Structure formats: structure tokens, C-alpha cells
Amino acid sequence: MSETSVLSSNPVRAAEAAGPQLGPLGLFTVLLGAALPLIDFFIVNVALPTIEHDLAAGTALLELVVAGYALSYAVLLVLGGRLGDMYGRRRLFLIGMAAFGLTSLACGLAPDAWTLVGARVAQGAAAALMVPQVLATIQAATAGPRRARAMSLYGATAGLSMVAGQILGGVLVSADIAGTGWRAIFLVNVPVALIGLVLAARSVPKTRSANPAPVDVPGTLLLTVALLTLLAPLTEGRAAGWPLWTWGALAVFPVAAVAFYRVERRADRQGRTPLVPPSLFALLSLRRGLALVLPFSIGFGGFMFVVAVALQQGLGMGAVASGMALVPMALAFFGASLAGPRLVVRYGTRIVPAGGALQAVGIAVLALAVWRGWPDLGFVELMPGVALAGFGQGLQLPVIFRIVLSEIPPQRAGVGSGVMVTTQQSALALGVATLGSLFLSLVTSAGMRQALTVTLLVQLGMIVLTTLLSLRLPRTVN
């Protein structure tokens, strides 16, 4: 069936095909909105020692600075996507961008650790309003090659933001601009958010779902409980000494997860639109794509956290030097991401397992360098491993994002993007919690070299899993 006949038989798709288009400036603006929250997830890693000193914060409070942001961001993402479908994606993007700027200002001016934790929770909530609108706008306001290019740039932006966060954090903390120290990592968001607001008002098209569904209150509450009872104890348990509440929360998690699934399935069968429609998972591309996002992001999140700690505390690198050590990863990721669209046209989704194989080689090379060269490691010794890993990641992530969203209809763009970004963000937080806890536990018992080597080998196992799963992907992607 031709595209014209498909559009003529589907009024919603026909209307959206003739609707507003996302231009280059609009694409840059929404990608800026996607980059800010990811940068802020990782930018804190290199600033934690300075925050601990300035605010007299203990280990548990420091982890809350990271976890509070991650938790509120993760639990509200799907709701943010639904609100964008209902009230307009540009409107929610503008509200989220403004709130992100204000909460960043609150973080930068926080007088004590608990105020910083509260501001970080609010910052995560602001990010959850803004980020789902990015992919939803791309899905609703682009098509064909323009959408493929936009999705590749989104994947490149996501990967680069995770690496650039730690590089930028190191530079800003060391620069100590006007005596702001670590506060600069948050205050820098304020002018960027103002620029984003001006650009968004001028260049981002208005899109919304043709048939927006009301907020699924029971589903929202149950998803929140499920994510909180999983991520909160795993993130805070080690630092808090695994008190009773952590085990109680983990016991509640499977109950909340099963209840959430049953409530959503019932709503789906009754013709209502649940927060996360189980019928959405009937899409093979989404189901298999999300199965890759999970281990990929767990490994990525854990790697970035562990490397930040190992380079600064283990090798004694300063904030700038530890950030610069990741520059080869960022450059390689960016180059692979730009080459991705052409490679997909020629080789299809086979570049995903190829990227996994390259990433695995890079992590293996890095683990070998750590084992043989510790503690006399520098930029030159680290470069081959991180560059290979970055190139492999750049071949995988943009294509995986495209696969996940490829079959989602435009009217469900907000829900689909919310589900994908929630999976990614939850997995990043889970990676910090699990691989980070493993690493920190091994440091005390076996030393930094053994701890880093073992953690890298565990990540290598996850990369192998991702690569094997990628062999089951559809051969082509829209």
C-alpha cells in the first residue's frame, strides 16, 4: 500500500503529515532541552567532593543529591509525556524549560545540603516535564529521512551529554568562576534555559495528540510507588547501612509492579488509555528495543560514576584532568553517531551488534590497562579503551532509539517517548546504584585496582548481553 493511500485511510496521520514541521532551529532547541537534564545527571559526579566539603554533607546526603534528582526525573517522565499530549508539547516544553532554569538557580544558591537535595528533586521534576516533549515533537513534526536524521542527532545528543556532563563539571569546578566553586555547575543552566525559552517560543511548532487521554491517576501512583521502592533503597542502601526500610521497600516493589501491570491491562481492555498501555508492547520494535536500552543504560550510568570516583580518588586526578580523560570517548561517540544514518541505510540494524562488539573490546582493553598499569595510568594509557568504547556506543544508542519509536503512531508519541526515556533514566540510576555500590564495596575490601577491574568486567558481561539481544532486532528500521 502506498504512503498516500495509508494517509488517506488514516485522517489522524494525514492531518499530522500536513501539520507543522520542525525546522533546523527548532530541532536544535529541543535537542538543547534533551541535553540539559542528562548533563545535570552526570555533572554532579565530579563536584561531589567539593559539595561535601562546603556543605559538610555526609555520604548519605551526597547520594541523595544524585538520587533525589534521578528519582523524581524517572517517576514523572511518563506523566510528563501524557501532559504534553493533552495540553500541547510546546507549552509543556516551555514550562519545563522555565522550571528547570529556576530550580537550577535554587540548586546554585542552596545554603545547606538539605536545601540542595530539595532543589535537586524539583529540578528532576522540571526535567520530566520537558524531556518527553522532545521525542514527541520529533515524532509528530518530522517524517522520512528528516525524522531519521533527527533521531540520530537525538541519540548523539543523549550520549554526548552523559560524557560532556563530567567534562563540563570538571572545568567549571576548577575554574571557580567568581568564587562560585561547585555552584557554577547549576548556575550555568540559568542563561542556557533563558536562551532555550526564547528559541522555543520562536522555532518549536505546536503539536499535541488529536485524541488526548486524561491522566491515569491509579497508574501514575502505582508506577511512582514501583520505581521509588526499587531505586530508593538500591541507591541509598549501602550508604545508610541497609536499614530495615530498604528491605521493606524492596519487598513492596514486586507487589507494586504487578498491581501496576494489572491496573494498566484492565484499563487497556476497557478501551481507556492507561499511563503505559500494555498494548504498546505488542510492537516488536519497541519491545526488543527497550530490552537493549535497559542493560545498555545500566552499564553506561555505572561506568560514568565509577570512572569519576576512580580517576579522582584512586589516581588523584583533578576535576579537569578526570573530565579530559573522557574526551576521546565523547569525540568517538559523536563521530559514530554522525556516521550512523548512512550505515543504517547500507547495513540495517546489523551495526548495533557491531557497535556492541567494539564497545566490548574497548572495555576489555580498558580493564587490561587498569590491571597492568595501576596506579601509573594517564591520558595516553586510558585513551584506546575509552575511545573504542565510545565509538561502539555511538553506533548503538541512536539506532536503538530509532528502533524503539519507529512503529509508534504520532498520536501516541508522548506516551511512547515517556516510556523510553523512563526506561533509560531508571536504568541510568540503577547502574549508579548497583555498579556504584559494587565498586565502592570492593574498594574497602580489595583496593581500588581490583574494584575497578571487577566492575569493568561486570559491565563487559552486560555489553555481551546487549550484543546478543541485538541479534534479534528487525533487520530494517524506519
Residue 410 pLDDT > 80: no
5: pLDDT confidence band, cut at 50, 70 and 90?
very low
Specify burial of residue 370 (Cβ count, 10 A radius: 0-12, 13-18, 19+).
buried
Confidence class of residue 355 from pLDDT cuts 50, 70 and 90? very high
pLDDT at 201: 92
- The residue among 215, 268, 202 whose CA lies nearest residue 87 is 215
The closest of 65, 150, 181 to 478, measured between CA atoms, is 150
Check: CB of residue 136 under 8 Å from CB of residue 84: yes
Which of these ranges, 14-23, 170-179, 347-356, has the smallest mean pLDDT? Answer: 14-23
Lowest mean pLDDT among 29-33, 389-393, 436-440: 436-440
Q: For residue 309, is pLDDT > 50?
A: yes
What pLDDT is recorded for position 16? 44
Which residues fall within 8 angstroms of residue 368, CB to CB, at 6 or more apart?
Answer: 385
Range ranked top by mean pLDDT from 27-36, 80-89, 159-168, 345-354: 27-36
Q: Are 354 and 362 in contact (CB under 8 A)?
A: no
Alpha-carbon gap, residue 302 to 429, rounded angstroms: 8
Most confident of 60-69, 99-108, 224-233: 99-108
By residue count, the chain amounts to 478
11-15, 101-105, 239-243: which has the highest mean pLDDT? 101-105
The pLDDT of 371-391, averaged and rounded, is 89
Is residue 195 very low, low, confident or very high in pLDDT (cuts 50, 70, 90)? very high
Question: Is the confidence at residue 132, as pLDDT, over 80?
Answer: yes
Instruction: Supply the pLDDT for residue 18.
Output: 55
pLDDT at 6: 39
Q: Give yes or no for a contact between 145 and 125, defined as CB atoms under 8 angstroms apart.
A: no
- Fill in the amino acid letter for 353: P
Please give the model's pTM, rounded to 2 decimal places.
0.81
Say if residue 329 is exposed, middle or buried (CB neighbours under 10 Å; 0-12, 13-18, 19+).
buried
Q: How confident is the model at residue 25 (pLDDT cuts 50, 70, 90)?
A: very high
Mean pLDDT of all residues in 11-39: 77
Q: Hunting for cell 536500552 — which residue is that?
A: 293
**pLDDT at residue 459, as a whole number:** 92
Given a cut of 60, is residue 407 above it in pLDDT? yes
pLDDT in tens, 48-58: 778 887 887 77
Name the grid cell of 245. 526500610
The predicted pLDDT at position 19 comes to 67
What does the pLDDT read at residue 199?
95
The CA–CA distances, whole Å, from 120 to 41, 125, 256, 436 equal 10, 9, 25, 20
- Residue 11 confidence (pLDDT) above 50: no
Count other C-beta atoms under 10 Å from residue 304's C-beta.
23
Q: What is the pLDDT of residue 1?
A: 44
Grid coordinates given for 392: 561502539
Q: What percent of the chain has pLDDT over 90?
A: 30
Q: What is the predicted pLDDT for the residue at 478?
A: 65
> Please, which pLDDT band fits residue 12 given cuts at 50, 70 and 90?
very low
What pLDDT is attached to residue 286? Answer: 84
Backbone angles phi, psi at 180, to 5 degrees: -80, -20
| Mean pLDDT computed over every residue of the chain | 84
